[in-house]
Structure 1
């Protein structure tokens, strides 16, 4: 069993190996165990996937720091893999809010986390760049000396501001402030991904299954991407399977969906590993 520091070293090395890797997003402990057993080398959490699992919307108003970090801790403890936590916008507007969130994330067992520059406010969806940089700087300082790799997110494309030039400028500023990984969710196509990767000096994370052009690992690797995450798309895929099964029962009166279900015995064996 690896210590948290050993998981951090493993996670950091993945970003330095010169090879693109996929870091799927688990939404609870059970999904984390399944993904870890499949052979992935690191996992992330997803605020969207967690929100769906507790019948909430993925929004700043509905998800508290305490419950998101509790979910992150459950995932980190369930999987013998490095886990990077979705830390929303740091759960507060002030730089010290971001710092406190990083410190508490480390305490859950996570070895990384992402903080975004979205405010959660309709009238000003994105922080001004100076304010955003101050927030990332505080998170960087909080991570110093701790086993934690900080990802800085520029959210323009998710909030109706499809400005690639400004997105790159923000990520460059976050890099200068000390962020370890850079991330701009919602990029529209491979050309935008390639341009972004060529303009920054830190590893780039791209989310798959969100919006824009459907790309594969080989294409993203060629464009210069270091890390690929899946956001809430795996949770949505699982819920999609649930809906299709329910529709089959209601509309056809049949249960053929069960033939494709995860075998119960295999799940029982998988979930019991490490338990007394």
Structure 2
């Protein structure tokens, strides 16, 4: 079954996000139908902050390695590592040459703003011209940057679908009414980020969501497990919470001890 087809099954595609080849290979071996990547994990492995546009080389290298897996791979390319539509299109074409099946392209920028809508639709159109068979998951950060804005979310997801995106992704969306509104606004598959305690898989399936991804959760959980296991060698039974996205970013920016 193709990566596109996996978004139209009888239940949502559960897409776990890897951060290196070993994690991707382990997830594929566990039976997942497809594997994604997490930009936080890729950046953290390189000692760089996420969403700063500084991990193009690492992202390409990981994509090339993961393309050896026996399942489709979708690569998180942040905002495309360039503001030039042609540069982003060239990047996706390069990933396609490895056999990458999909990309995740976001409209959030490093300065905390959203890319202008007309610019983002131009990027999406350029990518689809350069790599028409790659599943382009167009992410909008309208609920994560600034004040959450459902109206802007609907405007952007509809525009991204019209520009050629194969799917849309709204991280942070959780309420039934909001999810249904996006499903009604954009006639393409909807990706929802799994948020423990807020976005139960079975409920998302009932609503008609097409894809559920784990984002940085697996990577952050792996960090917690490593620390707890290491502390346990000397008998320290103290538990630790899973670090948040902000916690990991702080470590990468020199905020850790």
Give the counterpart of 1:25 among 13, 17, 20.
17
In the alignment, structure 1 residue 39 sits paired with structure 2 residue 31: yes
Which of 55, 70, 74 aligns to 1:80? It is: 70
Would the alpha carbon gap of residues 172 and 64 (structure 1) be closer, same or farther in structure 2, given more than 3 Å must change? same
Q: TM-score, normalised by structure 1?
A: 0.80
Number of aligned residue pairs: give it: 238
Q: Looking at secondary structure, tell me which structure has more helix per residue.
A: 1
Report deviation, 1:139. 1.1
Task: Find the partner of 2:222 among 234, 238, 250.
Answer: 238
1:105 aligns with 2:95: yes
Residues 209 and 231 of structure 1 are in contact (CA less than 8 Å); yes or no, is this contact kept in structure 2? Answer: no
Q: How does 1:172-211 map to 2 (within 5 A)?
A: 172-209=158-195
- The alpha-carbon deviation at position 11 of structure 1 amounts to 0.8
Q: Distance in 1 between matches of 2:174 and 2:32?
A: 26
Query: Is 1:168 aligned to residue 154 of structure 2?
Result: yes
Please name the residue that 1:95 is paired with.
Answer: 85
Task: Mark the runs of 5 or more structure 2 residues left unpaired by the alignment.
Answer: 239-257
Contact residue 157 and residue 182 of structure 2 kept, 8 A: no
CA distance in structure 1 between the partners assigned to 2:236 and 2:65 by the alignment: 32
Q: Which runs of 5+ in 1 are unaligned?
A: 1-8, 258-276
Q: Which runs of 4+ in 1 moved over 4 A?
A: none
Conserved? CA contact 1:198–1:224, under 8 Å: no
Alpha-carbon distance, 1:239 to partner: 0.6
Q: Secondary structure of the equivalent of 1:158?
A: coil
Report the Cα offset of residue 87 of structure 1.
1.0
Alignment root-mean-square deviation, CA:
2.0
Contact residue 105 and residue 137 of structure 2 kept, 8 A: yes
SS in 2 for 1:110: coil
Q: Distance in 2 between matches of 1:186 and 1:104?
A: 30
Which residue does 1:68 correspond to in 2? 59
The more displaced of 68-77 and 226-235 is 68-77
- 1:48 aligns with 40
In 2: Cα distance, 1:47 partner to 1:226 partner: 21
SS of alignment partner, residue 157 of structure 1: coil
Q: Equivalents in 2 of 1:30, 1:183: separation in Å?
A: 26
Q: Find the aligned partners of 1:74 and 1:101 in 2 and give their Cα distance.
A: 16
Shift of 1:231: 0.7
Give the deviation of 1:16 after TM superposition: 2.4
Partners of 1:34 and 1:232 lie apart in 2 by 16
